[in-house]
């Protein structure tokens, strides 16, 4: 198992730079006062397709060799990764085959179709998704781009914190959400190599605390029927992301649902930006652990801003 390094992340950044947005790092005097620390929000909600996922997907597509590029990429996802891979493929003149459960919300189907992907519907079970995916790989010769269990995807996700640390080289702590661990793997690899003294914290919903359990016990423990509003953080770590996280992450903090919702609302109200519940989880762990963060310079990876405005929790 080859683990990515800072130089892989830098190479990824050089590769994808012309295609991605360099997202802004926002600050809020009000929130700094409330939490008694200095917060630096790396706003991937302003990234293309509204999420950091576009970084990893673009790096994966651009790392294909010629014959792979001819046959396209495939993934099973109904979320931000599907949209990201679809757009990355279309911007690089290759095909994206997206396997989606037939019961996916039509807004997500439309988004992926709008980026020109070829959608195949399957039953809403992991078994059906994986089987459909494999059959497309065999039939089309398409390359699988897993949402997080993928070296190139992880390197792409790490470029968000590369930019954040370029802009602010005095961070004491960096916090990113943990779902499957792709973003956290890239973030922690990048941060620890650039700044050995930095403390790297993962943020996870209490109701989907598989990474927290795995980290505490040292045994990879998958998520079982997680129920959280942070719908980007339902997935479980893979062997690859768990290895990286064990090595580079200092601790994982969990957040209660009500903290996630109130943190999301606080950012909407005070900063006037739309962040999704998964992103609010990073602020929620600061809210729940004020002593840990007090007086520090804290970088937060805001993972995305894709929210169904018709189904808000407040």
Which residues belong to the active site? 53, 78
CB atoms within 10 A of CB 96: 28
Nearer to a copy of itself, 118 or 274 (CB): 274
Q: How far is the CB of 107 from a copy of itself (least distance, A)?
A: 10
Contact call for residues 96 and 85 (beta carbons, < 8 A)? yes
CB of 223 to a copy of itself, least distance (A): 27
Least CB distance from residue 267 to a copy of itself, whole Å? 10
Instruction: Please tell me the distance from the alpha carbon of residue 15 to that of residue 116, in angstroms, as a whole number.
Output: 23
> Token pair for residue 83?
């949209």
How far apart are CB 314 and a copy of itself at their closest, in Å? 6
Between 113 and 265, whose beta carbon lies closer to a copy of itself? 265
- Residue 218 CA to residue 211 CA, distance in Å, equals 10
Q: Tell me which residues touch a copy of itself (CB under 8 A).
A: 24, 45-46, 50, 265, 268-269, 272-275, 305, 309-310, 312, 314
Shortest spacing between CB 164 and a copy of itself, in angstroms: 18
Query: Which residues have CB under 8 Å from 190's CB, separation 6+?
Result: 6, 9, 158, 159, 161, 162, 165
Phi, psi angles (nearest 5°) of residue 228: -145, 155
Question: For a copy of itself, which is the closer residue by CB, 91 or 144?
Answer: 91
Q: Which is nearer to a copy of itself, 36 or 102 (CB)?
A: 36
SS3 (DSSP) at 129? helix
CA 302 to CA 286: how far, in whole Å? 14
- To a copy of itself, the closest distance from the beta carbon of 304 in angstroms equals 9
8-state DSSP, 225? S
The residues, any chain, with a CB within 8 Å of residue 306's CB and separated by 6 or more, are: 49, 50, 51, 80, 276
Angle between helix 151-167 and helix 239-248 axes, rounded to 10 deg: 30
Bridge partners of residue 74, in order along the sequence: 97, 144
Cβ-based nearer residue to a copy of itself, 197 or 310:
310
Question: Between residues 50 and 147, which has the closer beta carbon with respect to a copy of itself?
Answer: 50
- What's the CA angle centered on 104, arms 99 and 108, to 5 degrees? 85
């Amino acid at each position: 198992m080859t683990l990515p390094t800072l130089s892989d992340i830098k190479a990824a950044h050089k590769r994808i730079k012309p295609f991605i947005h360099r997202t802004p790092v926002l600050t809020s005097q009000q929130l700094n006062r409330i939490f008694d620390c200095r917060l630096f929000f790396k706003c991937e909600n302003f990234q293309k397709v509204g999420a950091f996922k576009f970084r990893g997907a673009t790096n994966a597509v651009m790392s294909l060799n010629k014959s792979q590029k001819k046959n396209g990429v495939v993934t099973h996802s109904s979320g931000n990764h599907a949209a990201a891979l679809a757009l990355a493929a279309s911007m690089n003149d290759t095909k994206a085959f997206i396997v989606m459960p037939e019961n996916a919300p039509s807004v997500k189907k439309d988004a992926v179709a709008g980026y020109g992907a070829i959608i195949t519907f399957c039953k809403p079970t992991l078994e059906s998704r994986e089987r459909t995916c494999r059959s497309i790989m065999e039939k089309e010769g398409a390359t699988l781009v897993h949402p997080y269990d993928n070296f190139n995807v992880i390197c792409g996700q790490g470029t968000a914190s590369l930019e954040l640390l370029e802009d602010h080289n005095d961070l004491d702590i960096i916090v990113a959400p943990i779902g499957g661990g792709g973003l956290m793997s890239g973030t922690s690899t990048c941060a620890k190599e650039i700044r050995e003294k930095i403390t790297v914290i993962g943020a996870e919903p209490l109701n989907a605390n598989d990474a927290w359990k795995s980290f505490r016990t040292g045994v990879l423990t998958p998520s079982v029927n997680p129920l959280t509003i942070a719908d980007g953080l339902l997935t479980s770590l893979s062997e690859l992301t768990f290895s990286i996280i064990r090595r580079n992450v200092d601790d994982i903090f969990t957040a209660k649902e009500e903290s996630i919702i109130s943190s999301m609302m606080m950012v909407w109200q005070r900063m006037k930006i739309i962040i999704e519940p998964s992103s609010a989880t990073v602020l929620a762990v600061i809210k729940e652990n004020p002593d840990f963060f007090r007086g520090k310079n804290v970088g937060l990876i805001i993972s995305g801003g894709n929210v169904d405005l018709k189904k808000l929790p407040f």
